[in-house]
Amino acid sequence: MSSAPLLKVDNLTTHFHTSRGDVQAVRGVSFDVRPGEILGIVGESGSGKSITCLSILGLLKANGEVVEGSADFEGKLLTGLSDKQLRTIRGDDIAMIFQDPMTSLNPTLTVGEQLIETILAHKPVSRSEARKRALELFDLVKIPSAASRLDNYPHQFSGGMRQRVMIAMALTCDPKLLIADEPTTALDVTIQRQILLLLKDLQEELGMAIILITHDLGVIAEVADRILVMYGGMVMETGDVYDVFESPQHPYTTGLLHSIPDVRSHTKQRLTPIPGSPPDMLRPPEGCPFAPRCPHAIQQCLEAMPPLFERPNAKPTVHEARCWLHHEEAPKALQSIFDAPEVSNG
C-alpha cells in the first residue's frame, strides 16, 4: 500500500447478451494495480481474465456489457466514458498486447505504418517524426536492422519478432499501464522466455505497470509481483506472488500448482489434474464456482458464495482467498490443508 493505485477495479461485472440468455463472464471482480508493478492474472480459459481487461478498455464485442461496477484510472472513471473519450486513453495511457501475434497485426499494412498510425492518433507530430519514433521503438524492443524492417509486412516476421512489433506498438505513447493478454502463449518456449524478459526489462526501464494475463503459473512466477487467481468470473485468491506460491489459501490455486510438472524433481511423479470442467457461465452456481470440482468442498460451499477471507499476518501485501474453509466455524481438520505446504513431491 505504498502509493495510490494507478488502476482501481471495483466489483466489475460483465455480461454477454446471447439468444440463450446472459453469459455472466465477469462477476464482481475487484483489484488494484499500483504504479510500476506487475500484476499477474491467472486462470483457465473462460475464467473471465481477458474479458475483465477488455471491459476496462471498453473493447468488448457488441453483445458485451459492463452491467455493474467500475474501473477507475488515475481518478478517471473508465467505465463511464464514451467511446470517443476512451479513444484518447487506449493506446496512450493504457496499451494492450494480445495472445497471437500472427493474427493481431493487420496483414495488409506494413508494420511501420501500423506503428506510425498509432503515434499519429495520439501525438501532434509529423509523419517523419512519427517514423523516427517508430525506429526508436524498434530499437527499444531489440528488433535487428530496424530501419529496413519498418517497411516489411507482418508475414515477413517470425512469431517472436511479431510480438516484439506488438510490444513496440503498445509502447508508442509511453503507457502507464500495459495490459498483456497471454503474450507468450502462442510462441515457442525459447521465444516465450525472451519476450517475458523483454517485458520485464521494459517495465523496469520505463516504469510502467503491467497486467499480465496468463494461464501459465510459470510465467507469473518469473515476472509478477502480485497474483490474482480467477475462476468462474471471480477472484479466487490474491496476494504477493511468493506468498501465494508458498502457501496457497484456496484449493483451486493448490490444484493449479499441482498440475505443473516439476523438472527438478527426479522421482517419477504423476501430475494431478483438476477433475471436472469449469462452470456454465449462463447459469453459474450459487455457491463457490469451484465447489463442484473441489476435493474439500463442504455443504456450505455449494449453497452460498464465500467472501474473500484475509489471511492474517501476510507480508508484504494483503493475501485473500475466497474459500469457506477460512471461516472460523469451518471444520478444523479441513483448515489444516492450508497450513503446511502440501506440494510434496513424490
Partner 1 sequence: MLHYLIKRILMMALTLFLIITLTFFLMHAIPGGPFTSEKMLAPEIEAALNAKYGLDKPIWQQYLSYLQGIITFDLGPSFKYPGVRVNDLIREGLPVTAQTGFLAMLCVVALGIPLGIVAALHQNKWQDTTIMAIATMGVAIPSYVLATIALYLFALQWQLVPTFGLDSWQGYILPVLALSGFWLSFIARLSRSSLLEVLGQDYMVTARAKGLHPQTILFKHGMRNALIPIVTVLGPVVANLLTGSFVIEQIFALPGIGRHFVLSISNRDYTTIMGITIFYAAFLMLMILIVDLLYMVLDPRIKLGEKAQ
Residues forming contacts to partner 1 in the complex (CB under 8 A) are: 57, 59, 62, 83, 86-92, 95-96, 98, 100, 103-110, 117-118, 121-122, 153, 155, 166, 169
- Between residues 13 and 110, which has the closer beta carbon with respect to partner 1? 110
| Shortest separation between residue 4's beta carbon and partner 1, angstroms | 24
CB 41 within 8 A of CB 244: no
Q: Cβ closer to partner 1: 61 or 270?
A: 61
Give the CB-side neighbour count of residue 182, counting CA atoms within 13 A: 19
Q: How far is the CB of 278 from partner 1 (least distance, A)?
A: 23
What's the closest the beta carbon of residue 159 comes to partner 1, in angstroms?
A: 14
d(CA 208, CA 200): 10
Pairing of strands 76-77, 64-73: antiparallel
User: 317: alpha, beta or left, given left = phi > 0 and alpha = psi -120 to 50?
Assistant: beta
Respond yes or no on whether the N-terminal peptide bond of residue 284 is cis (omega within 30° of 0). no
Closer CB to partner 1, residue 166 or residue 227? 166
Report in angstroms how near the CB of residue 59 gets to partner 1 at its nearest: 6
Cβ distance to partner 1 smaller for residue 47 or 104: 104
CA angle, 63 as apex, 61 and 65 as ends, to 5°? 90
Smallest distance from the beta carbon of 135 to partner 1, in angstroms? Answer: 18
Neighbouring residues of 7: CB distance < 8 A, sequence distance ≥ 6? 32, 33, 56, 71, 72, 73, 94, 177, 209, 211
Q: Which is nearer to partner 1, 18 or 336 (CB)?
A: 18
- Using N-to-C axis directions, what is the helix angle for 127-140 and 111-122, rounded to 10°? 120
Residue 17's beta-bridge partner residues?
Answer: 22
CB of 121 or CB of 337, closer to partner 1: 121
Cα–Cα distances (Å) from 63 to 145, 189, 210, in that order, read 43, 35, 27
Closest CB to partner 1 among residues 86, 314 = 86
Nearer to partner 1, 166 or 301 (CB): 166
E runs forming strands in 124-221: 177-181, 209-214
Q: Which is nearer to partner 1, 6 or 166 (CB)?
A: 166
Interatomic CA distance for residues 229 and 244, integer angstroms: 10
Nearest approach in angstroms of CB 226 to partner 1 is 23
Pairing type for strands 21-33 and 7-18 reads antiparallel
Instruction: Output the smallest distance, CB 121 to partner 1, in A.
Output: 5
Tracing cell 495520439 back to the chain, one arrives at 122
HSE-up of residue 105 (Cα within 13 Å, Cβ side)? 30
For residue 63 the three cell numbers come to: 453483445
Nearest CA-CA partner of 33 in 316, 280, 228, 259: 228
As measured in angstroms, the least distance from the Cβ of 56 to partner 1 is 11
Q: Please, what is the minimum distance in Å from the beta carbon of residue 337 to partner 1?
A: 41
Locus of grid cell 496483414: 107
